[in-house]
């Protein structure tokens, strides 16, 4: 083929390639957009399950037609300046196709949301609660709470469904170890009895053959009752909960309580122990309670108190990358070798761990950390450089003056320079203060403010 034969507006075509009619594709997409608007209107007006079945079938047919529309790839171009040109027709068509597909997916989701609820949903919820009951070991109190909860649920259930399901009258709450050798066996009997009772309830729902349209109000009320039932079961006392409380009770943790002001009682007792400075009891609660809520409050109490008795457990916890423990060690402020070693391990770590570790090293005045912290002044991350500078200022070691002065002079980030100025002011020697004072007309307000705060007048 000659060069002249290839010069033209159309790309060369092989014998097997036929030109694509882009206008025909555009027309099909116009029609699909109109059809989709009609489907949206049909879904909005659908009131019954059969109506929704019709819309669902129409949506399936629509998707098949949409998937049959093939958008050709846009022609490749060797022009490097094409980024500023208008998009190719094929790209515009593909974008319209994608928008239609996205709107179709939204309609399909709306269809599912508009269906039901069904009797099968009630059965599924009851079976879920039953599984919690039968799969958990409960305390004596828990057994009693379960029986009451099932009784109350069945009263509402029977009222709504016209059934007569009832808890067996011979169930004895006896899961607690204090009831002797038969405790586990009796507790298992309670769980199995309640499980069998709830199985009767699901059978009653199935026998009722509830219709999603005709019985919509009944289904909704049953689901609401089941939600309340689930909440009651969640609040019942498990054996593991009771075991921890019994342990704390034997250790005298609750002896400080004349009454329970805050729930849970462990929280109230923790506040009293913090007020009285009972570090051993707070550490006991921290070690014993598996609740994330209570663990957080124990750590917060220790952080406020800063007791040296907490050093060893907090060093261990800090060794497991725990930032709260690092903050507590900083609050305690004792720069013994064990504490410093635990914190220095995170100096060259990730920023989430560096920030609390740097702060804690500064607060404990860790002279051994000056060199590794000074090395962090060369890090790419501006936050890391800023945190390192402030930690060096808290430590107050004069070895940090020169590297901090370099950061103040040369760092590209003004907030890092401001941190260096603050750190030099904290070190407070005449040399350090004179360096900062020279920046009283600095371009950066933050740096200038630190310089303005420097007082070089001799102290009388």
Does pLDDT of 206 surpass 90? Answer: yes
Q: How many domains does the chain have?
A: 3
The answer to whether residues 146 and 231 belong to one domain is yes
The winner for highest mean pLDDT among 55-59, 164-168, 250-254 is: 164-168
pLDDT of residue 48: 78
The winner for highest mean pLDDT among 80-89, 224-233, 303-312 is: 224-233
What is the value of pTM for the model shown?
A: 0.46
CA atoms within 13 A on the CB side of 173: 15
pLDDT of residue 4: 44
pLDDT of residue 77: 66
- Give yes or no for a contact between 389 and 420, defined as CB atoms under 8 angstroms apart: yes
Better pLDDT: 187 or 301? 301
pLDDT of residue 395: 95
The answer to whether residues 102 and 151 belong to one domain is no
Domain final residue pick, 195, 216, 237: 237
448 DSSP β-pair partners: none
The answer to whether residues 129 and 233 belong to one domain is yes
Do the domain assignments include residue 47? yes
Do the domain assignments include residue 104? yes
The answer to whether residues 97 and 205 belong to one domain is no
The answer to whether residues 399 and 436 belong to one domain is yes
pLDDT of residue 459: 42
pLDDT of residue 176: 41
pLDDT of residue 82: 54
Question: What is the extent of the structural domain holding 442?
Answer: 368-460
Does pLDDT of 228 surpass 70? Answer: yes
Do the domain assignments include residue 451? yes
The winner for highest mean pLDDT among 121-130, 247-256, 285-294, 310-319 is: 121-130
Better pLDDT: 124 or 13? 124
The answer to whether residues 66 and 132 belong to one domain is no
Rounded to an integer, the average pLDDT of 147-157 is 95
Better pLDDT: 129 or 3? 129
The answer to whether residues 38 and 136 belong to one domain is no
Do the domain assignments include residue 375? yes
- Give yes or no for a contact between 389 and 356, defined as CB atoms under 8 angstroms apart: no
Do the domain assignments include residue 255? no
- Reduced to 3 states, what is the DSSP secondary structure of residue 448? helix
Do the domain assignments include residue 12? no
**Separation between Cα atoms, residue 441 and residue 297, nearest integer Å:** 47
Confidence of residue 342 (pLDDT cuts 50, 70, 90): very high
Better pLDDT: 197 or 214? 197
- Give yes or no for a contact between 396 and 425, defined as CB atoms under 8 angstroms apart: no
Rounded to an integer, the average pLDDT of 155-165 is 95
């Amino acid at each position: 083929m000659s060069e002249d034969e290839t010069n033209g507006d159309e790309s060369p075509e092989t014998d097997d390639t036929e030109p694509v009619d882009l206008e025909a594709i555009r027309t099909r997409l116009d029609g699909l957009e109109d059809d989709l608007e009609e489907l949206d209107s049909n879904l909005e007006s659908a009131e019954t399950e059969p109506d929704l079945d019709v819309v669902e079938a129409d949506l399936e047919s629509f998707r098949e037609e949409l998937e049959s529309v093939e958008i050709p790839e846009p022609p490749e171009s060797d022009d490097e300046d094409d980024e500023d040109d208008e998009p190719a027709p094929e790209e515009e068509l593909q974008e319209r196709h994608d928008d239609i597909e996205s709107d179709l997916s939204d309609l399909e989701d709306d269809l599912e949301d508009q269906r039901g609820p069904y009797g099968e949903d009630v059965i599924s919820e009851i079976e879920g609660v039953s599984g919690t009951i039968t799969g958990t070991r409960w305390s004596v109190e828990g057994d009693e709470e379960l029986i009451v909860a099932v009784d109350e649920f069945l009263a509402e259930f029977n009222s709504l469904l016209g059934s007569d399901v009832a808890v067996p009258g011979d169930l004895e709450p006896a899961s607690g170890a204090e009831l002797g050798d038969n405790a586990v066996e009796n507790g298992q009997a309670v769980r199995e009895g309640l499980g069998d009772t709830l199985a009767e309830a699901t059978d009653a729902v199935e026998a009722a053959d509830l219709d999603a349209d005709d019985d919509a109000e009944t289904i909704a009320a049953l689901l609401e009752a089941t939600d309340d039932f689930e909440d009651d079961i969640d609040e019942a006392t498990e054996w593991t909960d009771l075991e921890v409380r019994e342990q704390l009770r034997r250790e005298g943790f609750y002896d400080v309580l004349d009454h329970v002001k805050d729930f849970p009682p462990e929280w109230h007792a923790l506040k009293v122990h913090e007020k009285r400075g009972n570090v051993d009891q707070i550490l006991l609660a921290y070690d014993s309670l598996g609740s994330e809520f209570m663990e957080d409050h124990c750590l917060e109490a220790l952080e406020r108190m800063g007791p040296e008795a907490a050093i060893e457990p907090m060093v261990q916890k800090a060794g497991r990358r725990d930032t709260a423990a690092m903050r507590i060690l900083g609050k305690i402020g004792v720069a013994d070798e064990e504490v410093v070693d635990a914190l220095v391990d995170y100096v060259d770590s990730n920023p989430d761990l560096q920030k609390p570790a740097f702060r804690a090293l500064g607060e404990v005045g860790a002279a051994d950390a000056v060199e590794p912290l000074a090395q962090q002044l060369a890090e790419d991350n501006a936050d890391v450089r800023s945190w390192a500078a402030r930690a060096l200022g808290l430590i107050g070691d004069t070895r940090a003056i020169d590297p901090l002065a370099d950061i103040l002079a040369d760092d590209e980030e003004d907030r890092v320079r401001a941190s260096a100025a603050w750190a030099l002011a904290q070190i407070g020697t005449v040399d350090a203060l004179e360096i900062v004072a020279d920046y009283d007309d600095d371009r950066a307000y933050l740096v200038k403010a630190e310089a303005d705060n420097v007082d070089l007048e001799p102290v009388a």
